[in-house]
Amino acid sequence: MYRVLEKEVLALKITRLKVDAPKVASKAEPGHFLIVRVDEKGERIPLTIADYDREEGSITIIIQEVGFSSEQICNLEVGDEFLDLVGPLGEPIKTGGYNKVVCVAGGLGAAPLYPKVKSLHKGGAEIITILGARNEELLILEGDFERLSSSLYVTTDDGSKGHKGFVTDILKQVLEEEDVDMVVAIGPMIMMKFVSQLTKEYGVKTIVSLNSLMIDGTGMCGGCRVTVGGDTKFSCVDGPAFDGHLVDYDEQLRRQNFYSKHEQEVKDHVFGGEGCRVNEG
């Protein structure tokens, strides 16, 4: 069993949990993720390892409440336990050998971005961070990124904090002014698409993290398939990090829209528009 050591509410319906998992912590690297289950009736939820402490034997996860199973996790308190915690899964990213890296997060993408920023900083890279959110209340980990970054920019859709507009507005400005080795972007699919289009114009290497629908996390189900450079890959075993200039974003957006539409049809049919969530994570 995997006991909750610390709990912190970061924003509305967004919770950070530190969990006792020494074997996972001993192997965790930036880019790895977990699949967790609260109890025997719970869904299997994929979550990024947002941080890890090898000496303490702990890992940190950040989760947003969007349905029954994620609500279960957010309701856990210190001392409660997960029934299952499988990981680390996926392929880590390489963070050594860079001089200057721009790291871009949209919304909850700040959670999987943080361990990459931490590792890049440890490897000697100068970090420029751009955090985007719908509004100030939904910004998370701002202080954590500020400590690791030479420059930190904030954008919000409504202008409640920082620049009113998109992360690409600031990214374009930075690419014009700075000699950048790499951009790491994590967030909504549409955000990663436009970040990658912009960085391709400037010839800057770009890594994105794809939040494709996952079920087993081992490549068996095929639900998380993505097209990268014309080849079929699986986010759970080949990623979730990929070359942003090679991802077929339009295919991914079509698949996301299909599942979202199907989910809403189920809600409308069974609950009159309220109630269940077909898939989470």
CATH number at residue 179: 3.40.50.80
Shared domain check, 79 and 147: no
Say yes or no: 123 and 181 in one domain: yes
Tokens standing for residue 132? 């985007």
pTM to 2 decimals?
0.86
pLDDT of residue 268: 37
Top pLDDT among 15 and 221 is at: 15
Q: Give the residue numbers spanning the domain of 77.
A: 2-89
Fill in the DSSP letter of residue 222: -
Give the tens place of pLDDT for each residue, 3-25.
Answer: 999 999 999 899 999 999 999 99
Q: What is the pLDDT of residue 260?
A: 53
| Number of independent structural domains in the chain | 2
Clarify whether residues 34 and 107 are in a common domain: no
Half-sphere exposure of 276 (CA within 13 A, CB side): 12
CATH number assigned to the domain comprising residue 85:
2.40.30.10
Residue 225: which pLDDT band, with cuts at 50, 70 and 90? confident
Place 217 in a pLDDT band, splitting at 50, 70 and 90.
Answer: confident
- pLDDT of res. 275: 33
What number is the average pLDDT over the span 99-121?
Answer: 95
Q: Considering the domain boundaries, does residue 271 fall inside one?
A: no
In a domain, 162, yes or no: yes
pLDDT value of position 267: 34
Query: 263 in a domain, yes or no?
Result: no
Same domain, 73 and 169: no
Specify whether 70 is located in the same domain as 208. no
Cβ-contact 108, 13 below 8 angstroms: no
Summarize the confidence of residues 160-186 as an average pLDDT: 96
User: What local confidence, expressed as pLDDT, does residue 43 receive?
Assistant: 85
Contact assessment for residue 248 and residue 200, using Cβ atoms and an 8 Å cutoff: no
> What is the share, in percent, of the chain residues with pLDDT greater than 70?
91
Tens-digit pLDDT profile for residues 254-279 = 887 765 544 444 333 333 433 333 33
* Average pLDDT estimate for 98-123: 95
Instruction: Write the DSSP assignment of 75-143 as a string of letters.
Output: T--TT-EESEEEEEES-PPP--S-SEEEEEEEGGGHHHHHHHHHHHHHTT-EEEEEEEESSGGG--SHH
Q: Output the average pLDDT for the chain.
A: 88
